[in-house]
Amino acid sequence: MSKHTLSKTLISISIIALSFSAFIFISQTTKFLPSTSHKIKILIVPGHEPNAGGADEFKKIKERDLNLQLSEILKKDLSANPSLEVILARDKNGWNKDLENYVETSSTTIMNWVADMKDKMFAKVDAGEMKLINPGMKHNEATSSAVLYLYGTNKWIAENNIDLVLHVHFNSNPKINGKPIFSGYCMYVPEKQYSNSTSSKIFANYLNEEISKIEKPSTMLQEKNIIIPDQELIATGNYDTLKIPSVAIEYAYIYEPMMLSSTTRNIFIEKSASSTATAVENYISNELEK
């Protein structure tokens, strides 16, 4: 990934480089109601921390602000569906208060849980039941605070019966000789040995179907497969710390031409949110509401 901070392991902690339509909405909403006894809970995580962290910045445009802008529009789009409960991990005021309170009061519990999950995974590796995979590319490093919040989010997800999680990012680095050269979107999913790999891949396929209509695939070699399995990203549940589908999207490189003026950037972000909402609706309708 290029350059973000979705993150990675405790020690080496690297992270990711990662980076609608009203009619359909109404018809799907109607379809959900009879069969749903509880709301589907989706957590949208605008990548990076509210005021800090490994967020990319280009010409004063901060990636973490773009992530938030897109996430808030996505929440608004999805909230039109009464069968969905849409939760943001952070908003303009900072962290989601429930999540923040949980992380701030349970940091030791969270990190002990991570250590335990890591031990269990490496026991499987030692027993020959699981293989370690070297990622195709280096992720950016996450700060200790970002790591705590990412793992804390994974544990909070399980304790709050979240059904689906989406991490929103824009890509940036690498640049060659300081010059931006890449373009396009990609997404990260859990590596195939993790328990949420199949469901996440299915979710990613729905996202790919819609995002491919508004943006070209990444031109970076390591991202050429568009949907990239990763064993080390916290966001997608490294050490098997997530049981639900999780996808981390890099919608575009922040230095692409359409991102440089506020007018075209806002249009792209609106389209990205709308396409994502359609994909989420389709995924839930076809896969979770069967």
C-beta of 20 vs 253, nearer to Zn ion: 253
Question: Cβ of residue 140: shortest distance to Zn ion, in angstroms?
Answer: 8
Coil, helix or strand at residue 22: helix
Stretch that binds Zn ion, among 4-12, 118-126, 192-200, 263-271 (CB under 5 A): 4-12
CA separation for the pair 10, 161 (Å, rounded):
25
Q: How far is the CB of 5 from Zn ion (least distance, A)?
A: 6
For Zn ion, the closer CB: 53 or 152: 53
CB of 25 to Zn ion, least distance (A): 28
Judged by beta carbon, residue 55 or residue 84, the one nearer Zn ion is: 55
CB 206 within 8 A of CB 125: no
Q: State the DSSP H helix or E strand holding residue 263, giving kind and residue range, or none if neither.
A: helix 262-283
Give the interface size with Zn ion as a residue count (CB under 5 A): 3
Told to check if 169 binds Zn ion by CB under 5 A, we report yes
Residue placing its CB nearer to Zn ion in the complex, 84 or 235 = 235
In the bound state with Zn ion, the residue whose beta carbon lies nearer, of 47 and 237, is 47
Neighbours of 82 (CB within 10 A): 12
Binding part of the chain for Zn ion, among 3-11, 37-45, 102-110, 203-211 by CB under 5 A, reads 3-11
Min dist. Cβ of residue 18 to Zn ion (A): 5
Closest CB 29 distance from Zn ion, rounded Å? 31
Q: Is 4 among the residues that bind Zn ion (CB under 5 A)?
A: yes
Those residues whose C-beta lies under 8 Å from the C-beta of residue 111, and which sit 6 or more positions away, are 10, 148, 151
Closest by Cα among 76, 210, 102 to 158: 102
We find the least distance from the C-beta atom of residue 90 to Zn ion, in angstroms, to be: 13
* Distance from C-alpha of 89 to C-alpha of 94, rounded to nearest angstrom: 9
CA dist 270 and 61 (Å) reads: 17
Residues between 42 and 61 with contacts to Zn ion, criterion CB under 5 A: 47
Is residue 81 left, alpha or beta, with left meaning phi > 0 and alpha meaning psi from -120 to 50?
beta
Q: Pick the closer one to Zn ion by CB: 194 or 253.
A: 253
Stretch that binds Zn ion, among 31-39, 151-159, 161-169, 275-283 (CB under 5 A): 161-169
Separation between Cα atoms, residue 64 and residue 113, nearest integer Å: 28
Judged by CB under 5 A, the stretch of 107-115, 169-177, 191-199, 211-219 that binds Zn ion is: 169-177
- Strand ranges inside the chain, DSSP E: 40-46, 57-58, 61-62, 84-88, 90-91, 94-95, 164-171, 175-176, 179-180, 186-190, 227-230, 246-253
Alpha-carbon span 115 to 127, nearest angstrom: 18
Q: How far is the CB of 120 from Zn ion (least distance, A)?
A: 28
Q: 84 or 273, CB closer to Zn ion? A: 273
Binding residues for Zn ion (CB under 5 A) = 4, 47, 169
